[in-house]
Amino acid sequence: MNNYVMRPDTLEKVAAYKAEICRINGAKSTAQAFSVAPSVAQSIETRVQESSEFLSLINVVEVDQESGEKLMIGVNHPIAYRIPTTSGTRNPIDPITLDASGYLCRKTDFDTQITYRTLDQWAKFPDFQKRVRDAILKRVGLDRIMIGWNGQSAADTTNRATNPLLQDVNIGWLKKLRDAAPERVISQIVPGSNKVLVGMTGDYADIDALVLDVFNNIIDPWHRESPLAFVAIMGSDLNADSRFPMLNSTMPPSEMMAADIIRTSGKVGGLPVVHVPFFPAKSLFITPLSNLSIYWQRGTRRRRIVENPARDRIEDYQSVSEAYVVEDHGQCALIENIQFVS
């Protein structure tokens, strides 16, 4: 069977695409691995964040070091106090309390392929280069969301067959919370049951009572009445509850597909409900979205683009070191193993 050959006009557009990448990065060739220029790396991160409504609502932050203390964006505890100057010395309070968990950026590979047939189909569009670029960046954004919710470990060699939700690529937000602040994770009410039962015969009469109780007892008291925009993030299974109609439902279908965060007109425990892709089933996470961060390390983005005619495709190899961070544990609570009973 003969290999597929791209049309001459497609070859020209692909060559122009690679030449532009070389130009903006100061690289001699895309066939050899090169460091992405700092300004280009920042532009890539901005476009990845803008490709996803959810990512645009959290923090995507550049850091200089591979590891270190969290940036702790915002003030995370009260500072007001009083002491008589006649009997003591005033002692200023650091408004940002650093915890011991810190962050560690790990190299993540984002390697993609685009077939010659697809490139031929895209070549007719005037925005050919943008289409190729955006197809890759959109997938990077979705993968970051998947890792953030489901990441359990950072394996030396990952396995998508056994970890289809990228559980072994990096340690995500929920795993970070389970490890660093297990007292803020509710996975059972009756010891040994591994269940949080919601319903007339359950641990809570309804989900409102569950969320209200957890919010009032797990979230730090100085955050409960703050202007922080707390939300209740739910999995798609809990979304099936008919009392949470989507606020986005009036959007055109094309925009609905692009909107990866779905807001509803309902509330639970007084908190707005949102649904985000890849969030674990039977779970509910209370936090402001601004409490979640992805750190990426400056100077670690690498890239290489190679032709693979034996497989009728172009392969784009990219990598960057990144970390998933919960800024302030006191602003969040995770409820797992939720089951509805009659």
Does the pLDDT of residue 285 top 70, yes or no? yes
Tens-place pLDDT, residues 179-211? 999 999 999 999 999 999 999 999 999 999 999
Tens-place pLDDT, residues 101-150? 789 999 999 999 999 999 999 999 999 999 999 999 999 999 999 999 99
Does the pLDDT of residue 255 top 60, yes or no? no
Report d(CA 225, CA 219) in Å as an integer.
10
pTM of the complete model: 0.88
Q: Return the higher-pLDDT residue of 210 and 248.
A: 210
Q: Which fold has domain 8-76+89-167+293-326?
A: Major capsid protein gp5 fold (3.30.2400)
Cα–Cα distances (Å) from 134 to 41, 47, 233, 234, 299, in that order, read: 15, 8, 27, 28, 22
Report d(CA 95, CA 80) in Å as an integer.
10
Which sign does the torsion angle of CA 37, 41, 42, 43 carry? positive
Residues contacting 341, CB < 8 A, separation 6+: 197, 198, 199, 200, 201, 202
Mean pLDDT estimate for the chain: 89
The residue extents of the domains of the chain are 8-76+89-167+293-326, 180-291+329-340
Helix (H, G, I), strand (E, B), or coil: what is residue 286?
strand
